[in-house]
Amino acid sequence: MSKQGGFTLVELIISLVIVAVIMVGLLAALRSFGVTDEKLERRLAQADERRVVSGFLEDVLGQAVLRPRLAMAGKPEESCFVGGPDSLEWVGVMPARHGVGGLHYFRLYWAGDGRRAALMLAYLPFAGLDAPLPDWSLAERRVLVEDVSGFALRYQLEDGGEWLGQWRNTVDSRRVGRVGVALAAGGSEWPLLVVPVRSLVSAGAMGRIVNGP
């Protein structure tokens, strides 16, 4: 009688073990590919967010009214550009593609509820250099970046020199030339954004600035 060929029990067990090891390896590789794909998508989304936010800040901060505002009766001259280490108020141009164009009061700051913070932009239509200071409680607000863990502003004058933690334009002939924006969000630090600031009004201009015709 001829002996039938086939797998022994030991050979079958070894084959099953090999198949199981291969399947575990394939599952691990697929999981790794999935994690890598998620990380790549997250990084692309972060890069796109940085590009959009940086471009918007360059638009609204790149041109500013750099002169003292006409004071209310009995008060000293105040500035249209008041920069601190974690907030900045200025008068600039709202690009038409982001809403109603023209001169606006802007306030860049970060705010949170103790657990999470966001980079915010508040804005109001410009009412003129001789108008009272803006009431920020009436301003429209826009969240620029969520999940912010760090935010700092620095200021450099037109002639260069060291970076300053705060600056306000006064009757002093010196004016701010660049604003540095340092931001950490989404668990990573953003590249430092340096925005050149150009004056909308020449230093010697004495005419009244108005918003619109």
> Would you list the domain boundaries of the chain?
50-199
The top-scoring range by mean pLDDT among 80-89, 121-130, 193-202 is: 80-89
In this prediction, residue 5 carries a pLDDT of: 56
Question: What would the two tokens of residue 76 be?
Answer: 């000293």
Question: What would the two tokens of residue 86 be?
Answer: 């974690």
Please determine, for residue 11, whether its predicted confidence score (pLDDT) is greater than 60.
yes
∠ CA 132-134-135 to the nearest 5 degrees? 115
Share of the chain above pLDDT 90, in %: 31
pLDDT, one tens digit per residue, over 100-116 is 778 999 999 998 877 78
Burial of 186 (0-12, 13-18, 19+ CB in 10 A): middle
Q: What are the b/e assignments for 81-95, b being 16+ CB within 10 Å?
A: bbbeeebbbbbbbbe
Tell how strand 176-185 and strand 87-94 pair up.
Answer: unpaired
Place of tokens 């860049």: 108
Please determine, for residue 94, whether its predicted confidence score (pLDDT) is greater than 50.
yes
Question: What would the two tokens of residue 31 be?
Answer: 């999981």
In this prediction, residue 183 carries a pLDDT of: 93
State mean pLDDT over 147-166.
92
The whole-angstrom distance between residue 18's C-alpha and the CA centroid of its chain comes to 53
In this prediction, residue 75 carries a pLDDT of: 52
